[in-house]
Amino acid sequence: MEYIPIIVLVLSFVGLLAIGMPVAWSIAISSVLTMLASIPALPAFTTISQRMGTGLDSFSLLAIPFFVLSGQLMNKGGIAHRLIAFAKSLVGSLPGGLALINVIGAMLMGAIAGSAMASASAMGSILGPEMEKEGYSKEFGAAVNITSSTTGLIIPPSNVLIVYSLASGGVSIAALFLAGYIPGILTGLFLMIVAMFWAKKKKYKLGERSSIKQVFKTFIDAVPSLFLLVIVIGGIITGVFTATEASAIAVLYTLVLGFAYKEISLKSLPEILLDSSATTAIVMLLIGASMSMSWVMSYENIPQNISSLLLGISDNKIIVLLIINLLLLFVGIFMDITPAVLIFTPIFLPVVTKLGMDPIQFGIIIVLNLCVGLCTPPVGSVLFVGVGVAKTTIQKVIKPLIPLFLAMIFAMFLVTYFPQLTLWLPKLFGL
């Protein structure tokens, strides 16, 4: 009897997704059906409605619409061009130089904008045509752009890490932000290594070496954009302001920067605000529905049952973490990252904490896992953006994507089994 709620939840959720129901509605309806297996209809509907509302009643969540808006302002404000120019001066002469520029540019853009899709759109539209002119295949360029864009979800500021903080019961956002730097940079480095080998194999031509003067000039041009990281992360770590307050400051700073670069005008603001509102509405609906499902799972003791099941298979930390990673990789294929974090954090966090893992480390692991899912069909949002910008097809991009996937998964396993990679910086700053 104790496994009936799990069966109802899983079957209804998978069934609704299979018939094409949007993810948010699939989560909400399957939550209601699971409650109906235990209590009468009226209390079930009332409870789910209340939990969707109270799930959004969090001061920390205010950071999400602000960071979404700052990301839109950056995407339209000419910041991407300056970051790409800086990256080109650093690595443009190396094998696969334009691919390396894409990775570094995406890491910088993602870190500033906190959005994988914004990064994929900006990098792909700017670098894609240039890579084709230099003889790179369209599919290889798209594959590099798609995978590198996800690094911005690990390197702070990251909306997904804020969502994880909420789902985990209040893990420090500042600590999560610091913990994301080394894994994010490590993932980027592995992607660059794969890109270099691929470029050598395909014999793509080398770019011109930049002089120290050019490097310095592009760096100076990029400094105002990069300074946002100092303001946001520095302010949070030193306690000058919270992550939510930092997101509002990011909006103000990027707005001023956009006007200073003359890339944003008063006429373009309504469109930017509308796009940001639409993105925020989608994210918030997903969060509300996912929080209701998390409550249902807690009410039905589903996390405890799954925890007992996993620990019953083995009490070996390496084996259990391997199983969790494989499950999360599978989940990421079929579910978007925000609801997946909200739903599976309460399930797996009790298991890993029993094994002695720090919740901060697990937050980075779950995000790294689900980033792979953003690049895979059938629901990989970053995959669709990258393919659309490159004007190619998913089938053609799969081959160059596979070695890049392996690089991302290798980085994820390193982070899983070497806690120092995530915990060193937070401990250094006393978080």
Task: Tell me the DSSP string of 249-289.
Answer: HHHHHHHHHHHHTT---TTTHHHHHHHHHHHHHHHHHHHHH
Q: Has residue 206 got a pLDDT over 90?
A: no
Report CA-CA distances (Å) from 219 to 82, 86, 155, 185, 192: 9, 6, 20, 19, 21
Question: What is the pLDDT at residue 88?
Answer: 76
Question: What is the pLDDT at residue 235?
Answer: 82
Amino acid at 264: I
Please compute the mean of the pLDDT values over residues 251-269 and round it to a whole number.
85
Range from 112-116, 362-366, 375-379 carrying the lowest mean pLDDT? 112-116
Q: Has residue 332 got a pLDDT over 90?
A: no
**Secondary structure (3-state) at 416:** helix
From the list 131, 70, 431, the residue with the least C-alpha distance to 279 is: 70
Q: Where are the alpha helices (DSSP H) in 157-211?
A: 159-167, 173-179, 181-202
Domain tally for the chain? 1
Question: What is the pLDDT at residue 19?
Answer: 85
Question: What is the pLDDT at residue 104?
Answer: 82
> What is the torsional sign of CA 167, 171, 175, 180?
negative
Report CA-CA distances (Å) from 109 to 26, 106, 351: 32, 5, 35
Q: Has residue 111 got a pLDDT over 70?
A: no
Q: Has residue 230 got a pLDDT over 90?
A: no
Residue whose tokens read 């499902």: 293
Range from 83-92, 112-121, 296-305, 403-412 carrying the lowest mean pLDDT? 112-121
Per-residue pLDDT band at 369 (split at 50, 70, 90): very high
Which domain does 50 fall in, by range?
4-428
Per-residue pLDDT band at 72 (split at 50, 70, 90): confident
Q: Has residue 1 got a pLDDT over 60?
A: no
- State pLDDT tens for residues 373-412: 888 876 677 888 788 878 888 788 888 899 999 999 999 9
CA–CA dist 384, 376 (Å, integer):
9
Pair of tokens at residue 187: 């993932």
**Number of CB atoms found within 10 A of residue 298's CB:** 13
From the list 167, 147, 152, 185, the residue with the least C-alpha distance to 372 is: 147
Q: Has residue 182 got a pLDDT over 90?
A: yes
Question: What is the pLDDT at residue 26?
Answer: 85
Q: Looking at the whole model, is its pTM more than 0.85?
A: no
Question: What is the pLDDT at residue 112?
Answer: 65
Please compute the mean of the pLDDT values over residues 339-363 and round it to a whole number.
89
DSSP-derived letter for residue 211 is: P
Residue whose tokens read 């992360």: 233
Arithmetic mean of pLDDT over the chain: 82
Amino acid at 325: N
Please compute the mean of the pLDDT values over residues 139-143 and round it to a whole number.
88
Percent of the chain whose pLDDT exceeds 70: 95
